[in-house]
Structure 1
Amino acid sequence: ENFSAARFRLPPQYLEALKSFVLNGGALLVKGGDNAFSSGGYKNSPLEEVLPVVLSARAPDFVPGLFSAKPGPAEHPLVRLYETAELSQRAWAALPPLDGWARFASVRAGSTVLASHPREKTEDGKPLPIAAVRSYGRGKVMLISTDSSWRWKLGAAADPDASGFYGRFWTRAVQYLTGGLDLSKVKFAPLPDRVPPREPARLSLRVFDESFGPASAADTRLSVVWTGPDGRAREVAARVTEPGAYAIELTGLAPGTHKVRATARVRGRAWGGDEVKFTWEPAQEEPMDRGWLTKAAAAGGGIFVDVASVRPQELLDLLPPSVPREETVRRLRPFISPFWLALAGGLFLLEWALRRRFGHA
């Protein structure tokens, strides 16, 4: 961390040994500062070959100043530190600013930028890395270009969105460097031990690219093999539901343990695979409590009958006999009835008499 090889005249064989250590499976964390990188004499050294970046030839290459790091691929395990990508992005946005960053010439191919400067660029015009990782040989390397990450701890102590970020980030970083972090790029969504007893059984699969963004379906060749309880393997289709996400539906399920394995190739390269196992059982009908049903029917004045054990005619015979109903229809035609005609005429005469008496005629 922020160590100058030039100032302390570190012999080149030490850096060569460090390079060999990583190449053979070791882990290396490099943190920056005003004595690190090119300012520390590491340009064109064996250590530079290991880093996720190409160091700048300009000196000094460290620039003081406050800035807020911009997170990289939302689904990368070192960026998504909380249960959901939304919570993680909220935590990144709530972090206090860092102080100082290093200039770099470029990012090496195969490296993943976890966080970048919001405005500064590398010398080849790409976003300037603040945190980046890379595999080198059988080992792993992580670079943090500033020595002020402690500000994430002290400055965020009172913020509920960011107070636990520092611990989560460095815990995840150690897991990555020591091989304890799952970085597979082909992943099934978790399943319960027993899936719901219905068909089709639905599985969800995601395929990520180098930066843990969604892998393009056009670049991806996916093979999904389903092995049933009888040991017979068959290939099933995977349907694209959104970029990098696939749905798999299984029908004709037999009771027992099922295994589904997915393997992917992206742009012709083997990309990895994942496997999921689950137990499926058909839905079981709950047995009837005949005693309780008989009592309930009797309490309501009826009887309990198991329809599965009687013939249709027997059910019809149990129904109460039908009661015929008589319906009398009477039609009234007032304009051909003498009574109604006389009543209507009398009302008209009464109206005429009243109108004349009160002067309205």
Structure 2
Amino acid sequence: MSSRNMPKWADVLLVPLFSLVIAFAISALVILAIGEDPIRAMELMVTGSLGSTYGWGYTLYYTTNFLLTGLAVSIAFQAKLFNIGGEGQALIGGLGVALVCLYVPWPNWWTAMIGAILASAVFGALWAAIPAYLQARRGSHIVITTIMFNFIAASVLNYMLSHVLRPPASMDPATARFASELRLPRLADVLEPFGIAFSRSGPANVMLFVALAFCVLAYVMMSRTKLGFEIRAFGQSEPAAHYAGISAFRIIMIAMLISGALSGVMAVNSVMGGPQRLVMNAVEGAGFIGIAVALMGRSHPIGIIAPALLFGFLFQGGSELAIETTIPREMIVIIQALVIMFTGALDNLVRQPLEAMFALGRRKS
């Protein structure tokens, strides 16, 4: 999405920054219109999400989810595939996590985590493979099929939790809790040997480091390997890629399998790292937030880290805002929608004035 009329650094930094400022300014007007002080609201959000290790624990927990779903969307974007099915792929990935945690006798948490990562990746990839195949072989639009598969995934999970995996004595559509030894270490456990005090109440756990590692691996794959070059080449021009001998079917399938696998892995954090059981709302909309994260990060595996942290801040800050003020929790959904709108649909509203400014500067020089 970079422009020839503007330096790459400006496209990467200034466009999303100004889009964010506009979104927050409009959000402040909405908060003012409902009779609350926007400055106090921002102070509460910052304090609640970043002002203590307790707040950081939740902020980084949500950030982990958004890192994985944002990375999933960005890989598909690189091949010009608009994968909106991250939510469903994560739901099915959560099913894989639950099955291996409930029915495999793991000796400790780290072997269970590896098994859960592999199972969730396979389940998420297989769920993404169906719309990928329909796109590659039948020409079915990937946006439509992935959206529809979100609803199918929710129905499948509802059936499994209500009729198959629910404990006999329970009325709650959820699995039994996993064995206590499978609990993922919290950040407090990781930082304690280094003498760093951190709240044990926050759910942030070792999956944060796994998510960051996946970002680095994805960067290496996309920028340093033949497969990454082929994905980017296909995304830039399918006819040119075909002329160069790159198979459209192969790239579509591989890109969507990787994307689905990453979305599925997100469930390890929200299932093993959170409630220690699979519940209906385990994904918490992270599949859709991943789209905004990828857009703001310009589909760059490292560039998505800052947007993921931003949305982690919004999620945790919004929870604190709903507790401390009369501002409803849905207000944060409005802010997220504004961020998505200005970084995606209204991207040119910011981009064109910046392009004109840089063009004017070049003419003067």
Measured against the shorter chain, the TM-score band is under 0.3
Structure richer in helix, relative to its length? 2
Structure richer in strand, relative to its length? 1
Normalising by the residue count of structure 1, what TM-score does the alignment of the two structures yield?
Answer: 0.21
Higher relative contact order at CA 8 Å, sep ≥6: structure 1 or structure 2? 2
